[in-house]
Structure 1
Amino acid sequence: MPASAMESVAVTALRSVMLRVQQAAERSSRKADQIRVVVVSKTKPVSLIRQVYDAGHRCFGENYVQEIVEKASQLPDDIDWRFIGRLQSNKVKMLLSKAGVEPSGCVELAKHVKLGCPNLEFSGLMTIGMPDYTSTPENFKTLSNCRIEVCKALGIAEEQCELSMGMSGDFEQAIEMGSTNVRIGSTIFGPREYPKKQAN
């Protein structure tokens, strides 16, 4: 497929996703502008990201430090970049340190960030459910409860604590269950393209 046709498909898909976000937000009695859509652009070329940017989108996410650094240097400065991958310690200088915890550890981690890390600002939870998508409602309920518990423990309003949950396959249900931030890649850009490994 020529690049221009692929790019046109991505812009059409973006518009469809934004409409679906609006509809899901309305079903949960919220406004679409209360939901951040992070377009996950990992493994995608700068030209394709530029098409989505030119269509009006400004929030993009990457899984790899090298990609975010390289792409950011080639694209406009008003892009809101989100790092959504696991960060290796040798890459910390380029971004901030980040890892994950089980739901049972979210309150203690949030307390540690809020009270023990003066150079960090706690703004919410980026979550991912269990790989078994048949249990999605239970996953979202567990993750939503993490946010409630963290807010209670820190004495902050839920509106001040972002809840990032939901991806291409389940973002509408995630929004309906309280997500304020969804990460969407393959629905807009198609499947990820990884370099092929050469045989020895």
Structure 2
Amino acid sequence: MKNLEAQERDDDTVPEKLSAEDPAKSGMAASSAMDGVAATALRSVLSRVQQAAERAGCRADQIRVVAVSKTKPVSLVRQVYDCGHRCFGENYVQEMIEKAPQLPEDIEWHFIGNLQSNKVKPLLSGVPNLAMVETVDDEKIANLLNKAIESIGRKPLKVFVQVNTSGEESKSGIEPSGCVELAKHVHLGCPNLEFCGLMTIGMPDYTSTPENFKALANCRTEVCKALGIPEEQCELSMGMSGDFELAIEMGSTNVRVGSTIFGPREYPKKK
């Protein structure tokens, strides 16, 4: 299966044109301008979240915005941090391990990528302020996280169970029919993990995304019934740059917004 990195959509980009005769000055100017764009974009996103929350009949402070900073430099992350934002997400273990030590310790890091077995311990050891793993999609990963946390001696880790609500083979996540058993395993069988809710990725075609969001909400109803917990205790992580407002209106409490805040991804060019 493809990693979450390949699944995430790069939309709502923020174009910025700059020119200067001195390449060095041009680079500095571009960086400074991009910093300003990111700060302005963050404020816009938070405003849109507030409006969506009002339409959904909930408070904006009940919605967590994960600023997804993958492929972006530490300096840009710091600019968004300086605006008062504290929750950031990364898709790549190595990128998070490299960035986290260079940034303030009060950042709440969310890992939102496909987590491979051999990356579990490096992630937990390298990012002491890791707040959540949103992509637990089978018992093996849950068990490895549980065991590694115990050996490191850190506090319990919050996790979401990732559900593949669209049925696409290219996406990670357990099938809806299996989410109850996986949630029960995490909740009852992994004392070092704190089950906090469910996560999904909608289809790129936003017209069919509501069906994916409804499917996750249905999964929550089943999970909460099986675990004997109120639905308010089970978060829904759904919605990204192109559909986070719709996701909030349909019950999302955790949205993952990357390119709309930071601009288009900056992948290395293939040789």
Q: TM-score range by the shorter chain?
A: over 0.9
Residue 28 in 1 paired to residue 66 in 2? no
CA distance in 1, matches of 2:205, 2:39: 30
Partner of 1:98: 136
Partner of 1:40: 68
CA distance in 2, matches of 1:180, 1:54: 23
Partner of 2:229: 156
Give the 5 Å matches for 1:1-200: 1=18, 2-93=30-121, 94-95=123-124, 98-99=136-137, 100-198=173-271
Local SS of the residue matching 2:214:
helix
Partner of 2:25: none
1:129 and 1:143 in contact (8 A); partners too: no
In the TM superposition, what whole-angstrom CA distance separates every residue of 1:1-43 from its partner, at most 9, and x where no partner exists?
Answer: 4100011001000000000000000001100000000000000
User: What is the CA-CA distance between 1:133 and the residue it aligns to?
Assistant: 2.4
Amino acid at match of 1:37: V
How many pairs were matched up?
198
Amino acid at match of 2:65: V
Q: Which runs of 5+ in 1 are unaligned?
A: none
Q: Which range is displaced more, 140-149 or 13-22?
A: 140-149
TM-score where L is the length of structure 2: 0.71
Local SS of the residue matching 1:166:
coil
Local SS of the residue matching 1:194:
coil
Local SS of the residue matching 1:121:
strand
User: What is the CA-CA distance between 1:82 and the residue it aligns to?
Assistant: 0.3
CA distance in 1, matches of 2:176, 2:259: 26
User: What is the CA-CA distance between 1:129 and the residue it aligns to?
Assistant: 2.4
Amino acid at match of 2:119: K
In the TM superposition, what whole-angstrom CA distance separates every residue of 1:40-71 from its partner, at most 9, and x where no partner exists?
Answer: 00000001000000011000000011111111
1:123 and 1:161 in contact (8 A); partners too: yes
Amino acid at match of 2:44: S
CA distance in 1, matches of 2:213, 2:52: 15
Local SS of the residue matching 1:122:
strand
CA distance in 2, matches of 1:50, 1:70: 14
Q: Which runs of 5+ in 2 are unaligned?
A: 1-17, 19-29, 125-132, 138-172
User: What is the CA-CA distance between 1:139 and the residue it aligns to?
Assistant: 1.2
CA distance in 2, matches of 1:164, 1:89: 23
User: What is the CA-CA distance between 1:184 and the residue it aligns to?
Assistant: 0.1
User: What is the CA-CA distance between 1:144 and the residue it aligns to?
Assistant: 1.1
In the TM superposition, what whole-angstrom CA distance separates every residue of 1:51-107 from its partner, at most 9, and x where no partner exists?
Answer: 000011000000011111111100000100000000111101023783321222111
CA distance in 2, matches of 1:22, 1:162: 18
CA distance in 1, matches of 2:217, 2:72: 31
RMSD: 1.3
Q: Which range is displaced more, 121-130 or 9-18?
A: 121-130
